[in-house]
Amino acid sequence: MVPGLVEPGIRKDLREGGASAWTDGILVLILLYLFLFALKLMGASFKMLGADFTHALFKLTSNPFAGLFVGVLATAIVQSSSLTTSITVALVAEGSLGLAAAVPVIMGANIGTSVTNTLVSLAHIRRRDEFRRAFAGAIVHDLFNWCTVLVFFPLELATGYLAKVSTWLREFFVGVEPVNALKPLDLIIKPLVQWVETVFTDVFGLPTVPAAILMAVLSLLVLFVVLGGMTRVLKKFVVGRLERVIDHYLFRYAILSYLLGMAATAVVQSSSVTTSLVVPLLGAGLLTLEQVYPYTLGANVGTTITAFLAALAFISTKPEAFTIALVHLLFNVHGALIFYPLRAIPIGAARWYANLAARRTRYAVLFIVVVFFLLPLVAIALSKLALG
């Protein structure tokens, strides 16, 4: 924050506490590191379990309905829309996946990516009020994506709107050179994740599947422990010190919240990480659903940078690959333009279901199982049967 722009009251709050404030601050950073490590480890374990299955799923995308749910399921399995969209870009570039078939996959990937923050919210399940707030903040991401799909999926089938506009926009990027981007999180988190993977696979000599399952279990244990500690420490650390900074500056205005979500996600190249980061703040009551909603929309736009980086390598030789990256961007931008003014729909639905899940926690588990796994599997199976 720029010196001189901080209110005197905030400066006083930040000075108070002395050594205790430093201790709490260091503890928050340690817990944040472990939180990010748990997310990355969970993603790595799911990728180990589902890599072959995910690639096999893409063979079922000839039907647009199947393609939509392939995107949901593949992304839920690997917990990364960036990975799904990058694979889609590569398949389009290879010519094994047509543009029309790739668009529904991109839409489905947007839905599937919200499984991570929904899983993170389960760490609050023992504390009803915290869980209600955290779960609402997690599923509002998913509900926004579903709302956007309900508008643009039939529109795309009828008119090819997103594909046509993206094809037109692509011409403005011809001649752009590929950019190599380094993910900051990989520098600090990936070595530890790789070390854990090495311990299970090389030191213990476990096959891939058992190693992946143990890694997933370890990630969940770390996640639950860290989130419990993070919520308690954040309440102590933020109240009276940084609460007004968060409320008055970072999340005071919707546009600032939106830009923060977009910039943070563009840097770390993972909306799963950036949207999961605010779940503990929601659970602790330090942020409201209305404050987090535009942040989530910004994160959806920020995550499209990965597909762009993947597609730039093909822009001269396989321009269709860049077109699908533009589809991803336009889908999220259009969704925000429609469902920020109509935000009462996803926010209201998220609050209603979170209240239900807080009273009967089995509905939270049911939401994850049905929306991210059972529904896509059934839809893919029915589409395959319909095609014979």
Distance between CA atoms of 58 and 294, rounded to whole angstroms?
32
pLDDT value of position 388: 56
Say which residue, 53 or 284, is predicted with more confidence.
284
- Per the domain annotation, does 115 fall within a domain? yes
- Per the domain annotation, does 65 fall within a domain? yes
250 and 260 in contact (C-beta within 8 Å)? yes
Could you give the 3-state DSSP secondary structure of residue 284? coil
- Per the domain annotation, does 2 fall within a domain? no
- Per the domain annotation, does 287 fall within a domain? yes
Distance between CA atoms of 145 and 68, rounded to whole angstroms?
12
How many domains are contained in the chain? 1
User: Whole-number mean pLDDT of the chain?
Assistant: 81
Token pair, residue 197, equals: 């993977």
- Per the domain annotation, does 381 fall within a domain? yes
Measured from the Cβ of residue 71, the count of other Cβ atoms closer than 10 Å reads 31
**pLDDT of 1 over the 70 cut:** no
- Per the domain annotation, does 155 fall within a domain? yes
Global pTM value: 0.75
pLDDT value of position 347: 96
- Per the domain annotation, does 114 fall within a domain? yes
146 and 125 in contact (C-beta within 8 Å)? no
User: What pLDDT digit, counting tens, does each position of 183-241 carry?
Assistant: 666 678 888 989 999 999 888 888 888 888 898 888 878 867 876 676 566 656 554 45
CA dihedral 292, 294, 299, 302 (to 10 degrees): -150
User: What pLDDT digit, counting tens, does each position of 112-124 carry?
Assistant: 888 888 988 888 8
**pLDDT of 4 over the 60 cut:** no
Say which residue, 281 or 181, is predicted with more confidence.
281
Residues 6+ apart with CB under 8 A from 252: none
Token pair, residue 279, equals: 């779940």
Residue ranges making up the domain that contains 302: 8-387
pLDDT value of position 5: 45
pLDDT value of position 6: 46
When mean pLDDT is compared across 3-7, 58-62, 150-154, 250-254, the lowest value belongs to 3-7
User: What pLDDT digit, counting tens, does each position of 63-94 carry?
Assistant: 888 889 988 988 888 777 777 787 788 778 77
Residues 6+ apart with CB under 8 A from 80: 43, 47, 113, 270, 272
- Per the domain annotation, does 1 fall within a domain? no
Alpha helical stretches, state H, 16-98: 19-57, 64-78, 81-94
